[in-house]
Structure 1
Amino acid sequence: MPSYVDGFVIPVPKANLAVYKRVATKASKVWKDHGALAYFECVGDDLETKDMTPFTKLAKTKEDEVVIFSWAVFKSRKDRDKANKAIMSDPRMAGMMENCKDIFNAKRMAYGGFKVIVEA
């Protein structure tokens, strides 16, 4: 049973969404090759909320941007740490990391590792 998740929230210009999707599709293969049990990249669709903080506000998106909500699932933090080390040294990532500069501003990306506390 998986017990660890890496999560990402990324504001991406709408004009770059198709390119982002192509890069994310390639990245998903790298994550899976290095131990991710599952990998998801989602684009905001219903983000207007009442009485809560919408992702658009959280990500400080501009009018021409969308919110990407992504996560990768691992068996454990140890497996995640091992995978991330391998992912970052994987030669397939070098080109993708360079392309990211043109697709979105990585300094505005939120990232964190999470212990699973409920799985249903």
Structure 2
Amino acid sequence: MTYVAGFLTPVPNGNKQAYIESTRKAWSLFKEYGALQIMETWGDQVPAGEHTDFRRAVALEDGETVCFSWMIWPDKETHDRCGASMQSDPRWQDMDMPFDGRRMMWGSFTPIFEESV
């Protein structure tokens, strides 16, 4: 069964193109380590909530946009091998992060329902 990694990232508006390029560069490595799909999205309608919301989750600052992203992996083991490679493969250290990585959120998830057209 597939495995999903999800991310919320606060990106300065002026770094949108740099973020896209960073994603392209990282995708080549993720794909090499077995990722099946990546989806990077730029916040368009990200409303403030009463109790919690995407903005608060990443402590969004003026002039930033929340990016919502996910990757599909063939299984948890492939995902975990890629994660472990970040400690040993020096190419990960060459990645640009045109955002404040301390406020990025991520998690990994086991699908419980999937449907498509």
TM over 0.5: yes
Deviation per CA, 1:34-69: give whole Å up to 9, x if none. Answer: 100111111111112666743123222112100011
Matched, 1:111 2:106: yes
Aligned residue number for residue 22 of structure 1: 21
Which structure's residues are more often helix, by fraction?
1
Aligned residue number for residue 12 of structure 1: 11
Aligned residue number for residue 48 of structure 1: 47
The offset of 1:75, in angstroms, is 1.6
TM-score (norm 2): 0.86
Code of the residue aligned with 2:13 in structure 1: it is K
- Structure 2 unpaired stretches of 5+: none
Equivalent position SS for 1:46: coil
Kindly report the root-mean-square deviation, in angstroms, between the aligned alpha carbons of the 2 structures.
1.9
Equivalent runs, 1:76-115 vs 2, <5 Å: 76-96=75-95, 99-100=96-97, 103-115=98-110
Equivalent position SS for 2:60: coil
Equivalent position SS for 1:112: strand
Whole-angstrom CA distance in 1 between matches of 2:21 and 2:69:
14
- Structure 1 unpaired stretches of 5+: none
Equivalent position SS for 1:24: helix
Whole-angstrom CA distance in 2 between matches of 1:43 and 1:7:
14
The 4+ residue runs of structure 1 with deviation greater than 6 A are none
Structure 1 residues 39 and 58, CA gap change in structure 2 (3 angstroms) = same
Identity of aligned residues (%): 34
**How many residue pairs are counted as aligned between the two chains?**
115
